Structure 1
């Protein structure tokens, strides 16, 4: 056994011995006892255990409190963590314990670990001034075993070139496992084996997605890459199809009837799944009864049904550039549950009596039946607001006035207004982008948002105040932590370069100055960069059973109640609210916390898939513009290049540092810039530059720019 450098086998032995000593930490064991606990009986193998014990005791990994007996020293020789792969094939292991430092692992010491895998890592003794370095000794859990790529078939074998930039190995596919795939097609391939020491994993084709470059193929490839199914299982469709479309008398039991109250929906022009409707009634005392009626999905999707299991698994609808992949089958999402006009529909509602100043006089939560009078698109509702003419003008005008009051109050209480630009594409009949535009948010959008926020907030408060301490009721909250002050401080320094000041004395001061910034920056070229950076400096919102506040909205309690057609947490909220209104006991917190955590993870995955579809369409749009020049804003800097967002169409690509030849540039992470080492020229986040479209790689959804000036 090599003495100078540990072999992989030795590292595995060290790990096994460490596990034994960890379990028996109160006593010192000799090599025979350790061998017995490892079920090793071969004498030469036992001798090897003794050699490893002595060698590692000299290095300080194990202690030898008495001759021939060993204990584990109280230091972290092994850590568990997640693989974060770099572009050159090495990786950093992000430890599970947030107080541990990242561990660098070279490519040859990853031992077949892939990006996102949870692994056990042996940490080498640290040399002075060097970062933590280690070696993977065990793959605890694969992040994924299915990958998307283009298959290349020769006479004797085939390889799949993987689209994912973080997957640096092609997958070898025996000709017997092609499953009908043809050369050049985009496929989904599953790793079936990867022997130690072999460069490429072995796999089999499990899904043929179609011809590379076709819109349908590429969108399905994105869904498959992020683990979203392309169809519903037959059992789920059958269950959905068995649900009657018509509302029966039996369905109306224990429901408040709002069918004679003016009710309407306001949604995007192309929407088909209408989760929410608003009812409006002027009361004799001069106040207003406003009902926020939400599709009663939980009435139809019952616990442990096939529909429920599938909805839980997906946890969310996925919105790609050209399509929606619904959480529920179309029969429910666009039919039974959708609050279509001129049809009786079952809802779960939050109904408020508001005075002229939008103060809540009374509130009521429960099941309702509605009959929507009108389906508005946002544009139609906006026209009513602006012209003061059209259907339900009195109701929409008053709702808009009340929404303004609710919004102002929210911001005065410390809510933050992040108005980031949302890119939309004009597509031809084949799904090819022929134009790019930025979606505008007007009063009609904000009106709906403000009443949905009110319902979400008040439902959360209602449950949060029902029980305290051990008597508290299990519920699904939407939690948003206050920002990390170091991250926010870095952002404040950067914003100051543009003349914006962030007051960091209190949470309210932070919110107020961020809102001033967002207002000031609107329409300016640096808007998107500053908004994205501000959002990045914030904590991420998550689902949880813990009663915590929502920093961004400045609400003590907040939940998601208003979109059960497209979000599973809302379905859980409806079920819990119904149970507690019915005086049932509190639900199992542990079970719901697992569901909340799963929903948060799937929400992130859906957002990543949406971004990937936008990246693909941006690349497809700029493919026709290779060689053309555009003004852009530096939107990101990394150690290998800088990202530039084009001002006209918001498409984002990269200028690689190696392609900037007038100097040797390195990243200055703290100051969000890259700096030339000889001439000290800086390219700063937010700087305007002129770029040429150099290359577009549709398969990898990559756009490369070259710097003109």
Structure 2
């Protein structure tokens, strides 16, 4: 029998070339599969395929070494058993302000609790190896970080305390329990009392505090610009434009050439207008309207042609992609693109020739779309309307372009009716707004509800988005759809819906959670109608939204549940959303018979845009919360009627009726009894007197404390 050549010899456990680290991995993997049994070295050697004498000797050494390190236990002489705490898993570290840190494992298992003493200085977002402890009865998994595989750069915002030869950053975000030590040469001229952005550069093993360097000075704490920039920096969002990006925007020529106009459909002579919030400057969309000789209505949804100016791979494009979205804070917009583009070149301002990417529809009186097309156009808007001005025309029947607006509104109402008949869900929530003085201080808080003028614009934008998605996504049988960017919304989680139905049942409402999608949607809409004007309205709407999945961007089209559209995308806001720019470019490519694009690359871009959208939403909420606290900070001792909007083990949250400001009544201040949290019924229950504080209950509160630094309001319960 011929001997195998060296080339033919497998590189497995029987190979002499095996490394010790690989042998350790195989041994731990084998023993961890059956931690209740003990094995001798011969059994282990056989299991991992070790055949040579040197390899068997190596296994003996490894077994004793692992026992010394408490990975294995020598049950009797020469027999070893795996200790459960020795199991190593990989995941992402999440640092929590309450010290209850956790690791989210890559395999999607239950989160692992990691106490601060076992965190090994791991920071939020770090990829780590965790050694599991032995499971305790009645507790979740717990472990210890044994290795940091990938460190994420860490930047914190806080207030500087400067000494003679060093400084500290007192961090705003209590996710980090320690202040940051800053050597004086890394201070960048910062002074005590100023807010700064600081990057951690090292955290020596025996040092109590991490060491950092100042990246940027934001200004003195309490100043409006300082605090707004601090909110953006806290979420890792940009608060200023790099100089070279602004310079690149300034170099773009303003003139539209006759050659460019010749390539496009000319809508300059068609009645066109925009309808936007009164403080808007970036006009993404315009509507054109005319009655055709065939009796149909032609409605043009004209969208700013941003990608004509922002070329793929340019410095403007890279900055736009990194930001992915404009951020709408209480007192300002942080635009995705420099203002010369967002408020100037691309903005569809009145009485200016503008380039657009348009969806053109012919509709009958019943809002049935007879034909549609998507094309590049040139337009000239005749009038800029605010929502309030358009609403007045709808209500009075009088004003500029009244015939066009009234007809568009009639068509929009029919489109809206069809949507809800098809199973769309009607979440019509209020928007918190502030009147701000010249120093940025809020002098009034109010909330706005959507009216018919808002719905008019919304319906035609939805129509355009749906039509564009269908144009690319719907393909003849036997053909494969091209890679595209969709806005998708998954079905609600059945367990969350069942819990929601059980919860609303306690208020006397019924909710259907099974059956056809339209049946469930109609049941949700019926519930939302029923709770209108009740104490529990906001709370039930909030819980309904939480039961829903989040809408995200994806190349995998699963449809949009909330809108009841099988195909949907974002095409109508390229000035403020990067996915819309992606859609414009893909449209141009495919309408010109261009080849398909790689799905994996675009899916990665979709995920980035979805993540940035969530960050921006968090920053927007933080800015609202800050201004609400600032608004109530000079109203300490005043009383307001409100409703219990949240119940937790540490207290109850109350939302004030007149201004929607929310604060907490700490459980320690409910001193008339010992209250226990009932998570299933969303309430606090008094042990002795059986008093119940439940979600939706009306209460009267007094403003007790307003902590601007923590963006926190404390209330005292009066009744």
Same fold (TM over 0.5): yes
Q: Which moved more, 1:667-676 or 1:326-335?
A: 667-676
Residues 237-276 of structure 1 correspond to what in structure 2 (within 5 A)? 237-276=246-285
Q: Secondary structure at the match of 2:604?
A: helix
- The whole-number CA distance in structure 2 between the counterparts of 1:565 and 1:495 is 41
| 2:123–2:154 contact (8 Å) kept in structure 1 | no
Q: Secondary structure at the match of 1:97?
A: coil
Q: Which moved more, 1:135-144 or 1:267-276?
A: 135-144
- The whole-number CA distance in structure 1 between the counterparts of 2:127 and 2:280 is 40
Q: Secondary structure at the match of 1:437?
A: strand
Q: 1:227 to 1:467 in 2, by over 3 A?
A: farther
The reply on whether 1:52 has 2:66 as its aligned counterpart is yes
| 2:162–2:191 contact (8 Å) kept in structure 1 | yes
Bigger Rg, structure 1 or 2: 2
| 1:245–1:335 contact (8 Å) kept in structure 2 | no
- The whole-number CA distance in structure 1 between the counterparts of 2:636 and 2:26 is 57
Deviation at 1:54, TM superposition (A): 6.6
Q: 1:616 aligns with which of 601, 621, 626?
A: 626
Deviation at 1:144, TM superposition (A): 5.0
2:222 corresponds to which residue? 213
Deviation at 1:350, TM superposition (A): 0.8
- The whole-number CA distance in structure 2 between the counterparts of 1:15 and 1:671 is 52
Q: Secondary structure at the match of 2:160?
A: strand
Q: 1:355 to 1:71 in 2, by over 3 A?
A: farther
1:43 corresponds to which residue? none
Once the two structures are superposed, what CA deviation does each residue of 1:149-195 show, in whole Å capped at 9, x if it has no partner? 01112334321111113232211112222111100111111111112
Residues 6-155 of structure 1 correspond to what in structure 2 (within 5 A)? 17-18=24-25, 27=48, 50-53=64-67, 58-59=72-73, 77-98=87-108, 100-142=109-151, 145-155=154-164
Q: Which moved more, 1:424-433 or 1:130-139?
A: 130-139
Q: 1:426 to 1:623 in 2, by over 3 A?
A: same
| 1:18–1:72 contact (8 Å) kept in structure 2 | no
- The whole-number CA distance in structure 2 between the counterparts of 1:31 and 1:704 is 72
The reply on whether 1:627 has 2:652 as its aligned counterpart is no
Deviation at 1:312, TM superposition (A): 0.4
Once the two structures are superposed, what CA deviation does each residue of 1:262-320 show, in whole Å capped at 9, x if it has no partner? 11110011111000011111011111111101000111111100010000000000000
Q: 1:34 to 1:614 in 2, by over 3 A?
A: farther
The reply on whether 1:543 has 2:553 as its aligned counterpart is yes
Q: 1:682 to 1:77 in 2, by over 3 A?
A: farther
2:365 corresponds to which residue? 356
Residues 349-388 of structure 1 correspond to what in structure 2 (within 5 A)? 349-388=358-397
Deviation at 1:67, TM superposition (A): 7.6
Q: 2:356 aligns with which of 335, 342, 347?
A: 347
Q: Secondary structure at the match of 1:546?
A: coil
- The whole-number CA distance in structure 1 between the counterparts of 2:542 and 2:53 is 57
| 1:146–1:190 contact (8 Å) kept in structure 2 | yes
Residues 489-638 of structure 1 correspond to what in structure 2 (within 5 A)? 489-506=498-515, 507-638=517-648
1:684 corresponds to which residue? 694
The reply on whether 1:319 has 2:318 as its aligned counterpart is no
1:283 corresponds to which residue? 292
2:685 corresponds to which residue? 675
Deviation at 1:473, TM superposition (A): 0.3
Q: 1:518 to 1:143 in 2, by over 3 A?
A: farther
Q: 1:76 to 1:368 in 2, by over 3 A?
A: farther
1:705 corresponds to which residue? 715
Once the two structures are superposed, what CA deviation does each residue of 1:212-247 show, in whole Å capped at 9, x if it has no partner? 111110001111111222222222212211112221
Q: Secondary structure at the match of 1:216?
A: helix
| 2:67–2:73 contact (8 Å) kept in structure 1 | no
2:43 corresponds to which residue? none
Q: 1:166 aligns with which of 170, 175, 186?
A: 175
| 2:72–2:82 contact (8 Å) kept in structure 1 | no
Q: 1:157 aligns with which of 162, 166, 172?
A: 166
Q: Which moved more, 1:679-688 or 1:292-301?
A: 679-688
Q: 1:677 to 1:167 in 2, by over 3 A?
A: farther
Q: 1:179 to 1:607 in 2, by over 3 A?
A: same
- The whole-number CA distance in structure 2 between the counterparts of 1:36 and 1:370 is 79
Deviation at 1:678, TM superposition (A): 3.7
Q: Which moved more, 1:117-126 or 1:435-444?
A: 117-126
Q: 1:660 to 1:245 in 2, by over 3 A?
A: same
Q: 1:191 to 1:647 in 2, by over 3 A?
A: same
Once the two structures are superposed, what CA deviation does each residue of 1:541-595 show, in whole Å capped at 9, x if it has no partner? 0000002110000000110000000000000000001111001111111110010
- The whole-number CA distance in structure 2 between the counterparts of 1:396 and 1:16 is 76
Once the two structures are superposed, what CA deviation does each residue of 1:110-137 show, in whole Å capped at 9, x if it has no partner? 1212344443321112133332111122
Q: 1:371 to 1:500 in 2, by over 3 A?
A: same
Once the two structures are superposed, what CA deviation does each residue of 1:669-708 show, in whole Å capped at 9, x if it has no partner? 2211222334433211111222222211111111112222
Q: 1:102 to 1:206 in 2, by over 3 A?
A: same
- The whole-number CA distance in structure 2 between the counterparts of 1:387 and 1:177 is 64
Q: 1:135 to 1:666 in 2, by over 3 A?
A: farther
Q: Which moved more, 1:220-229 or 1:269-278?
A: 220-229
| 1:165–1:700 contact (8 Å) kept in structure 2 | no
Deviation at 1:201, TM superposition (A): 1.1
| 1:631–1:689 contact (8 Å) kept in structure 2 | yes
Once the two structures are superposed, what CA deviation does each residue of 1:484-536 show, in whole Å capped at 9, x if it has no partner? 11111222222223332211122222211221222233343332222111111
| 2:304–2:574 contact (8 Å) kept in structure 1 | yes
Pairs aligned (count):
684
2:492 corresponds to which residue? 483
- The whole-number CA distance in structure 2 between the counterparts of 1:401 and 1:366 is 25
Deviation at 1:143, TM superposition (A): 5.3
| 2:482–2:596 contact (8 Å) kept in structure 1 | yes
C-alpha RMSD over aligned residues:
3.0
- The whole-number CA distance in structure 2 between the counterparts of 1:143 and 1:436 is 39
Q: Secondary structure at the match of 1:471?
A: coil
- The whole-number CA distance in structure 2 between the counterparts of 1:493 and 1:381 is 42
- The whole-number CA distance in structure 2 between the counterparts of 1:577 and 1:141 is 38
Q: 1:192 aligns with which of 186, 201, 218?
A: 201
- The whole-number CA distance in structure 1 between the counterparts of 2:718 and 2:228 is 33
Relative to the length of structure 1, the TM-score reads: 0.91
Q: 1:415 aligns with which of 417, 420, 424?
A: 424
Deviation at 1:14, TM superposition (A): 11
- The whole-number CA distance in structure 1 between the counterparts of 2:102 and 2:527 is 36
Q: 1:234 aligns with which of 243, 248, 253?
A: 243
For structure 1, the 5+ residue unaligned runs are 1-12, 38-45
| 1:420–1:532 contact (8 Å) kept in structure 2 | no
Q: Which moved more, 1:684-693 or 1:482-491?
A: 684-693
